[in-house]
Amino acid sequence: MTEIRKGQQPAELTREQFHERFMRRFMDPAYRVEHEAIARLETIAWQAMKDGRKAPITRRAGNGFQDPDYEASVEWLDTHQRLKQAQQRWADPATRSRVLLVCGSDRNDGSCPGEMSKTWRLTQLAKEQLGRRDLIVDVLDLSLMTSEYGREIHPCKGCVSTAMPLCHWPCSCYPNHALGQSSDWMNEIYERWVSAHGVILFTPTYWYQSPSALKLMIDRLVCADGGNPDPTSTHGKRVEEAKAIEARGWHYPKHLEGRVYGLVVHGDVAGVEAQRRNLGDWLDWMGLVDAGDLSRLDRYLGYYAPYYDSHEALDRDEALQREVRLVADLVGDAVKQLREGKLPRSNRKAVRPK
């Protein structure tokens, strides 16, 4: 058995450090009238962290799992069941086709920038174009993490690098109530991806890369590519069990395989082609199928121009607007072919990554 390497985790927080961090959320003087109640809540939260009550409410996993008697998180079991039902609807020829539009910009007019993003406008063009078809258009605006209370995507912890079976589908790392990581949007987002027959990503280019909100979602979708759908097989996060399973051979299930995708990547100075390639490579690897070369678009918008009037630059760029509508049409056509069984599936086989 391989050696499990330890030593990076620092010492636990002291009571004083915990108090300082806990009270940061109550900086508003309006909370002072409830300081005694807050102190009682702090004591409960401190004990929850000390006891490691990550999933304080559990139930027996039940039939269909390797260890049906394992006490699993009720939140994970609920998400697991919803994903199973979503996959069944996805495969049912009687259901209406669904296309997920992901707006990957961090900006919206409900927060500090004070103005909607150009990415949002491009997303709306595609929504309008697809709205002419008999399908469901689902818009996922990741910028809501910057402007809505409690809307969060927590970072991926990298369980895959310890052992692939330690990465559960859906992710079981969150919520972690012991650490106050209770709000996690991904349980909803997983279901929206599974339900979609087609996905189009719309994103600006930030410092040659994807925006932080989009990258958080991408990282947390790692469990869709090879993730373990049975956390009872590792009894939660038991590293030695996960390593032993992978050592015997792992099949790397592709939980989003066969869906259609398109890309709209824009920027103003540099990096759009690299980001488009990265996103396309990621989706190809997961077993999604592009809707054709013209469905993977990267364009500059307001190239080396000032930011203050960049929306006017989009107003003038009618060619880009037409190209975005074309991406929507190509994905819509490919979804129709997919549902009719006429779209070639990905020929990528599940292989060990190393």
Q: What is the DSSP letter of 71?
A: E
Residue range 296-323, pLDDT digits in tens:
999 999 999 999 999 999 999 999 999 9
Say how many C-beta atoms besides its own lie within 10 A of residue 116's C-beta: 17
Q: Residues with Cβ < 8 Å from 20, sequence gap 6 or more? A: none
Average pLDDT, the chain: 96
Residue 350 has pLDDT above 80, yes or no: no
CA 329 to each of CA 50, 101, 130, 322: distance values in angstroms, whole numbers, following the listed order: 54, 13, 7, 10
Q: Give the pLDDT score at 242.
A: 98
Residue range 255-272, pLDDT digits in tens:
999 999 999 999 999 999
Residue 347 has pLDDT above 90, yes or no: no
Q: Give the pLDDT score at 307.
A: 95
Share of the chain above pLDDT 70, in %: 97
Residue range 40-68, pLDDT digits in tens:
999 999 999 999 999 999 999 999 999 99
Residue 135 has pLDDT above 80, yes or no: yes
Q: Which of 254, 235, 260 is nearest to 245 (CA)?
A: 235
Q: What values do phi and psi take at 128, rounded to 5?
A: -60, -45
Query: How far apart are alpha carbons 234 and 243 in whole angstroms?
Result: 9
Q: Give the pLDDT score at 240.
A: 97
Helix intervals (H) in the chain: 15-23, 35-51, 74-91, 118-130, 159-162, 186-195, 212-220, 239-248, 272-285, 310-316, 318-339
| Assigned token pair, 184 | 């996690």
Residue range 89-125, pLDDT digits in tens:
999 999 999 999 999 999 999 999 999 999 999 999 9
| Assigned token pair, 336 | 């129709």
Say how many C-beta atoms besides its own lie within 10 A of residue 292's C-beta: 15
Instruction: Tell me yes or no: is domain 74-339 CATH 3.90.76.10.
Output: no
Residue 349: pLDDT band with limits 50, 70, 90: low
Positive or negative torsion for Cα 66, 69, 75, 81? positive
Domain edges within the chain: 74-339
**Rg of the Cα atoms in the chain:** 22
Residue 354 has pLDDT above 70, yes or no: no
Residues forming beta bridges with residue 72, ordered by sequence position: 59
Average pLDDT over residues 160-184: 97
Average pLDDT over residues 135-143: 98
Indicate the pTM of the whole model: 0.96
Q: First CA to last CA across the chain, in angstroms? A: 18
| Assigned token pair, 310 | 């960049």
Strand, helix or coil at 59? strand
CA 216 to each of CA 108, 189, 213: distance values in angstroms, whole numbers, following the listed order: 18, 12, 5
Query: How far apart are alpha carbons 162 and 156 in whole angstroms?
Result: 13
State which H helix or E strand residue 9 sits in.
none
Q: Give the pLDDT score at 1.
A: 72
28: left (phi over 0), alpha (psi -120 to 50) or beta: beta
Residue range 175-218, pLDDT digits in tens:
999 999 999 999 999 999 999 999 999 999 999 999 999 999 99
Average pLDDT over residues 278-282: 98
Q: Which of 98, 91, 304 is nearest to 196 (CA)?
A: 98
Q: Give the pLDDT score at 323.
A: 98
Q: Give the pLDDT score at 344.
A: 81
Cα–Cα–Cα angle for 59, 62, 64, rounded to 5 degrees? 140
| Assigned token pair, 35 | 């300081």
State which H helix or E strand residue 101 sits in.
strand 98-103
* DSSP-derived pairing of the beta strands 198-204 and 289-290: unpaired
Residue range 231-241, pLDDT digits in tens:
999 999 999 99
Residue 145: pLDDT band with limits 50, 70, 90: very high
Cα–Cα–Cα angle for 65, 166, 289, rounded to 5 degrees? 90
Asked if the bond preceding 170 is cis, omega within 30° of 0, the reply is yes
Q: Give the pLDDT score at 352.
A: 55
**Amino acid letter, residue 25:** R
Cα–Cα–Cα angle for 170, 176, 178, rounded to 5 degrees? 160
Q: What values do phi and psi take at 202, rounded to 5?
A: -115, 125
